[in-house]
Structure formats: C-alpha cells, structure tokens
C-alpha cells in the first residue's frame, strides 16, 4: 500500500529541516573558531543528514503517532 502524499511530504520537509540545521550549526562553528570546513564536506554531510532525517521520519512516523495517541 503506497504511503499517503502527506506522509511523504512531511518526511521530505523534515529532511530539509535536518540538512539546513546542520548547515546552520557548521556556520556557527566556523564563526566561533578559526577553522574552516570545505564546501564539499559541508554540503556532503548536509545531504547525508537530510537523507537520514527524511528516511528515519518516514520509517518511524507510524510508531511515533501510535505512542503519542496512547499517552
């Protein structure tokens, strides 16, 4: 059974939020220290974080909703 469009959309948005959050954190790190991070590393890790956040949100969404409804 295919997932509803709202589930997929929510998972994609959480992935975007995860990737952008990593970029904000790495920018803060660079501002507070004198060390720089290569652009390719920044976007590579941000893409990895985005994929992991999106996939984990998609796979855990039903379980988390069930736990929240019973509380």
Per-residue 3-state assignment (H helix, E strand, C coil) for the chain = CCCCHHHHHHHHHHHHHHHHHHHHHHHHHHHHCCCCCCHHHHHHHHHHHHHHHHHHHHHHHHHHHHHHHHC
Q: How confident is the model at residue 70 (pLDDT cuts 50, 70, 90)?
A: low
Does some domain include residue 30? no
Does some domain include residue 28? no
Higher pLDDT among residues 2 and 18, named by residue = 18
pLDDT tens-place string over residues 17-27: 999 999 999 99
CA distance 9 to 47: 17
Does some domain include residue 2? no
Instruction: Name the domain count of the chain.
Output: 1
CA distance 2 to 17: 24
Q: In terms of residue numbers, what domain contains 42?
A: 35-71
């Amino acid at each position: 059974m295919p997932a509803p469009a709202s589930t997929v959309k929510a998972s994609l948005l959480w992935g975007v939020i995860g990737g952008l959050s990593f970029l904000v954190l790495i920018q803060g790190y660079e501002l507070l220290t004198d060390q720089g991070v290569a652009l390719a590393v920044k976007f590579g890790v941000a893409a990895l974080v985005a994929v992991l956040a999106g996939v984990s949100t998609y796979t855990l969404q039903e379980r988390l909703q069930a736990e929240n409804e019973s509380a």
